[in-house]
Amino acid sequence: MNRKEAVKKATELVDQMTLEEMASQLRFDAPAIERLSVPEYNWWNECLHGMARNGTATVFPQAIGLGATFDQELMQEIGDCISTEVRAKYNESVKHGDRDIYKGLTVWSPNVNLFRDPRWGRGQETYGEDPVLISNMAVPFIKGLQGNGQHLKTAACAKHFAVHSGPEALRHHFDARASMKDLWETYLPAFEACVKDAKVESVMGAYNRTNGEPCCAHGYLMQEVLRTKWNFQGHFVSDCWAIQDFHQNHKITDTPEKSAQLALEKGCDLNCGCTYQKILDACQEGLVPKENVRRAAIRLFTTRYLLGMSEKTEYDDIPYEEVDSRAHQALASRAARESIVLLKNNGILPFDRQKIHTIGVIGPNADSRRALIGNYHGTAAGYVTVLDGIENIAGDDIRVLYAQGSDKSKDRVESLARANDRISEAQTVAEHSDAVVLCLGLDELLEGEEGDAGNAYASGDKLDLRLPKPQEILLEKVLATGTPTVVCMMSGSAMDLQLADEKAAAVLQLWYPGGRGGLDAARILFGLEQPSGKLPVTFYRDLEDMPEFTDYTMQGRTYRFLGRTPLYPFGYGLGYGKTQVLEAEVTEKVQTLQEGQDLRISAEIVNRGQMPAEEVLQVYVHVDNAKNEVRNPKLAAFARITLQPGEQKKAELMIPEKAFRVINEAGEAVREGTGAHIYVGLGQPDERTRQLYGNETKELTVSF
């Protein structure tokens, strides 16, 4: 069914409704209208990295880990897998008359906010700190979720629109101030890609205000940008109870009726919350015209018709057996392997079975299911922790010793014991091992969303980059034993890894790798798979010179604006192969790049190692002599490449013309400067990447 047909049907249906019936359909928990054969429907479902909060489902790595894959093809496969499971569950729920929350076809994912500050607890839900990376990961994910059939397979949702990335504690009354340049250079590109390129069916507003207006009733963002400039055709949904914030916290209205009036007037069609229960009162007071209610109802029923809720669809026969199936588990395993980033390796990895006969597995995240799943997660049919995975791969010829070492955040494991009551056991295990795998980090109780996290002192955010004190002590004591130690960090954000970088034999960033992700981590440790993830965020040394968390200007934040040396740069990640870019060139002879002209380049890449390699070829662009260009070269294109030992391969990438534009102070994408430098390599063209990776990027130039 095309949109024109769906709009026609929705209009015919809505025009049969009373005002009361129309208004009832603008709530996330829309009741049935029996006289019109409209069943009840709950719009709220979550599918950030797998179907969430609805029982068994395939649990993929958390979104930040998916960002680390730099794999667009994988993202579409994951989106398709998730929508298959959503449909399978929906089919069965409807058969049983169950239309509860989290069981519908409208999925409030992905989160395409930019991870601008490492303290943000919800940054784990994003694809990283770069608008090009976020856009190129979100678009195929949405296409996978929505499908390419006669009907929408599910309806995806780009959130949270816009300029939203903490602090969590302030989000209900905070005003994020952003210049037009920052807005269009940083905060809006991913949303634009979701609307224009992916045809996302819905957009969710943020809790905060942006430049004075609440994001769920924002004239500029919702009307001028979303509806007019981008020609968005779908529906707009508020974040949950965000409209209530208008009068309770933002204080821009003084009654719920006026909040409903403002939200509807600006184009918020669906209320996750309770404020739209006041629509009828607002109508009676003359605040809300019937046409605004009708318009919103038509948009919502257009989505329901596009999903085929009132007719037979091609997805009705998807069986329940698809849920967490072997094929889906295999896809999640691939995603976990591609997401893991090797940050340091002195040669200890992969483990040599001829040299290592006893492995000590230590740390509060070594045998933790919670450290596998991140937030907004489903329930896997089975879990494999890092300890489980190592024991599985080690087999009978390698002894595995285990010590918890510490609690994740408390100073003791046993309440009646003294502080640091598991340290001596950890030291003993390290001293009796040939190598140690030390699993540290956080989980959804220590970083996450305000209201969902146990991290009450920061409402889900981190106060700094440091590990909780018990884990800092554990790290110091284990490293002090002198046993070669592989630090495995399980977190959804950048942590302080300076001590590990200095003294550990190897460092791996595992993120939250999914329900069975511990097995995939073990396979990488033993060399059965390659580490191939790349950092989607900068790992800073500390927060020195970092702007205030509440400051939404971009200067000093993310690799594009960074003026100091990071510990580990965006785009960086080691492998076990020895790959190198041999040469790069512009494939067509371009003397002067014209406006509107994309640029195709090719690169020769070789693996000189003895093991297969998976690499991410990265292209960065910096416009010459342009006063509005960002400080550092910016990501413009990327591609995953697999190379066998000794294999040499040519790869081609297209740099879109917009990569050669800059954003001026008015927020306009303009041509400035005399030309551009293009850098082709396996990471950024910065000194720290060269120092860590040992590879030079190839440099090209083009004139304007």
* Residues recognised as catalytic: 239
555 burial (CB, 10 Å; 0-12 / 13-18 / 19+) is exposed
Q: Where are the alpha helices (DSSP H) in 528-590?
A: 558-561
Element (H, E) at 19: helix 19-24
- From 14, 21, 34, 65, select the one nearest 513 (Cα to Cα): 65
19 burial (CB, 10 Å; 0-12 / 13-18 / 19+) is middle
- From 108, 14, 40, 4, select the one nearest 297 (Cα to Cα): 14
Q: Are 398 and 357 in contact (CB under 8 A)?
A: yes
Q: How far apart are CA 426 and CA 360, in angstroms?
A: 9
Cα distances from 529 to residues 280, 525, 612, in angstroms, run 60, 8, 9
Q: How far apart are CA 77 and CA 147, in angstroms?
A: 10
**Partners of 167 in the β-ladder:** none
- From 430, 433, 435, select the one nearest 484 (Cα to Cα): 435
Q: How far apart are CA 669 and CA 659, in angstroms?
A: 10
Q: How far apart are CA 544 and CA 453, in angstroms?
A: 26
Q: Say which DSSP state 129 is in.
A: S
Q: How far apart are CA 442 and CA 123, in angstroms?
A: 13
**Partners of 622 in the β-ladder:** 677
